[in-house]
Structure 1
Amino acid sequence: MPGERTKYAWRSHILAERALVGAAEHAREAAELATAIEPLAGADDVVCAYVPIRGEPGDLRMLDALCVRNATVLLPVTGEPGPLSWARYEGPDSLRKARFGLLEPTTATLPPDTVATATTVLVPALAVDLRGVRLGRGAGYYDRTLGAVGDGTRLIAVVRDNELVDRLPEEPHDRRMGWAVTPGGGLRELGHELPVSPE
């Protein structure tokens, strides 16, 4: 795809592609993501994650894989526009339906600055580029939330293989990701500019 496409055009393209993913392919990719994500945390780690919905890659297996490693897994709780609050994930039975079609924990809600305790944040994305520029859905929740995250926290965009792209449009408020995890490629470090082709 041309690198000059707008964020709107990128979103439309990726959402259309996700809509074509069948149930079997989605399940296969979700299993591969769970396998790739499991070793990313251990008993002393706090992982801020999310429950994939509406065609997003992954499923509850990636959260359960982290719990198997005895990591503390926190999920976002939505409210008014602003930084996300958090609550602890304690298995599928601890979830309830919430606004925007989300599933959120029934456990105690923790304040937005809880994200600062995370060693790893799994960030939903429509796409991410090799520099770490992330394309979200445009609501801005994560842009407002990730400002509280320190430089030592791993920010990992979770995308399908073809959603790791060369270059996306970037705005000054965008927080770059340090890593991407994809079903086929596993964990990959980002932050590298593409070489400039000689004219």
Structure 2
Amino acid sequence: MNEDVGHRKRALRAELRERRRNMTATEREQADAALSNNLISLTQDLRARYIAAYLSTPDEPGTREFLRWANEAGIKILLPISRADGLLDWSRYDASQEEEDHDILGMPTSSGELLSPMAINDVDLILVPAACVDQRGMRMGWGRGYFDKTLGSMERCPPVYAVIFDGEFLDSVPSEVHDQKVNGIVTPSGVTQF
């Protein structure tokens, strides 16, 4: 890793984490409601019947209301499970499961059947977390590279959208060779395609 790029990424991630922590409960509630509506619109526009998504943590833009809607609409949902080797396994999401599991990184996931990294190859839409995305569609994650590895290894990749807050859509982000672009972003104010 280029030391300068690595330093700029760490500094930007710290700034973005701080911004997320400083959001008020009302700001977060309004952002999450708008975000859910935009995620629903995107899914309907793409006629997606099988998606890969993730359960948001308290600091992330909310995906949980959208996932409940998708589940009720009969859309099949895969959730990622981090592995020690840097790959992602998958599990089917079922909103009726009250109990959440956590993967090796402490990220929330479903307690459903464990599926291999290959399971994602069948989905119509992939929703990924991100720290930020730039005008070219370059996504900067939180530094572990799980989604970059997954997306980079897919033979036929469906549309990939990063889910971020409005202030995380930037002019440019520092990037490296392994970083993967996304096809679009979903924010509280709308859906942007690249």
Question: Matches of 2:99 and 2:170 in 1, distance apart?
Answer: 33
Question: Matches of 1:98 and 1:178 in 2, distance apart?
Answer: 28
Per-residue Cα deviation, 1:138-193 (whole angstroms, up to 9, x for no partner): 01111111123345511100000010011011100111001000001x11012xxx
Contact (CA 8 Å) 2:51, 2:123: kept in 1 or not? yes
Aligned length: 186
Contact (CA 8 Å) 1:29, 1:57: kept in 2 or not? yes
Shift of 1:23: 1.7
**1:74 maps to amino acid:** L
Instruction: Tell me the SS of whatever aligns to 1:176.
Output: coil
Q: For structure 1, list consecutive stretches of 5 or more residues without a partner in the other structure.
A: 191-199
Structure 1 partner of 2:91: 87
Question: Matches of 2:80 and 2:10 in 1, distance apart?
Answer: 25
Structure 2 partner of 1:76: 80
Query: TM (normalized to structure 2)?
Result: 0.88
Instruction: Tell me the SS of whatever aligns to 1:37.
Output: helix
Segments of 4+ moved more than 4 angstroms: none
Question: Matches of 1:101 and 1:92 in 2, distance apart?
Answer: 21
Question: Matches of 1:68 and 1:31 in 2, distance apart?
Answer: 17
Contact (CA 8 Å) 1:96, 1:106: kept in 2 or not? yes
Report % sequence identity. 30
Q: 1:146 aligns with which of 147, 151, 161?
A: 151
Q: For structure 2, list consecutive stretches of 5 or more residues without a partner in the other structure.
A: none
Query: TM (normalized to structure 1)?
Result: 0.86
Instruction: Tell me the SS of whatever aligns to 2:97.
Output: helix
Question: Matches of 1:54 and 1:94 in 2, distance apart?
Answer: 17
CA RMSD, 1 decimal? 1.9
